[in-house]
Structure 1
């Protein structure tokens, strides 16, 4: 798994943009504002729902002046769009069809993606990395407090 100080692998991924489709490049976004890249396992899984709800419900504006959040998981754009609409997410869900999770070091041996988050700065470097405890029940809500603390310390 990447750690603070490591270069973040750049990516170009399609994702949700309201009812439409957007194209997202990490380096372009991080040049504008810090980016939280939040990997999750799959759409509609209870543990991923609670994870994305925790990110949705975070008062980012109270932690920093500006931030972008990208949810990233394998799947289809249609499923991501339905999941984002179901959760009323204010951030896009990107389709990881290029193995970006493996580049960040959060792909499990069985090919699934570990719930994790990376805070990426304007130089496209990782400022903070967090992954859910593998010993924790997959249905337990993740503790995103460390991610929020890292954003607040910018």
Structure 2
């Protein structure tokens, strides 16, 4: 798994936000603001629902002037669109069909994705990394918030 200081692999993925679809490039977003790349396993599962809801409910404005959040998982565009609408997510959900989870080191041997979060700065360097310990609890986002506030 990537760690703080590592170069984040750039990616171009299709995704959905606000009912619209589009292309998302990590380096383009990071050039404008820090990016939280939030990997999750599957749409509509309770663990992933709690995780993405916690990211949705974060008070990012108190930490930084601007930040982008990308939810990344395998699956299909329509399912991502339905899941994003169901949770009223203010950030896009991207379809990982290119093995980006493996490039970040969060793909399990069975091909599924671990819940994980990476904070990527304007140089596309990882400033913070977290991965699910398997307990299924909502992650403690305070270390991520601390990392955001230091950028």
Structure 1 consecutive aligned stretches of length 4 or more whose deviation exceeds 3 Å: none
Question: How far, CA to CA, are the matches of 1:117 and 1:40 in structure 2?
Answer: 9
Note the residue ranges of structure 2 that are not aligned, 5 or more in a row. none
Tell me whether 1:146 sits opposite 2:143 in the alignment. Answer: yes
Q: How far does the alpha carbon of each residue in 1:88-143 deviate from its partner, in whole angstroms, 9 at most, with x for none?
A: 00000000000000000000111110110000011111111111213x2x2x2222
State the 1:145 CA deviation.
2.1
Give 2:121's aligned residue. 121
Determine helix, strand or coil for the equivalent of 2:31.
Answer: helix
Aligned to 1:41: 41
Query: Within 5 Å, which residues of 2 pair with 1:10-89?
Result: 10-89=10-89
Shift of 1:84: 0.2
Alpha carbon RMSD of aligned pairs, Å? 0.8
Q: How many residues align?
A: 151
1:2 to partner: Cα distance:
0.2
Matched-pair contact (CA < 8 Å) for 1:50–1:142? no
Q: TM-score, length-normalised on structure 2?
A: 0.97
Question: What SS is found at the alignment partner of 2:13?
Answer: strand
Provide the C-alpha distance between the structure 2 equivalents of 1:121 and 1:141, rounded to a whole number of angstroms.
24
Distance of 1:101 and 1:69 partners within structure 2: 16
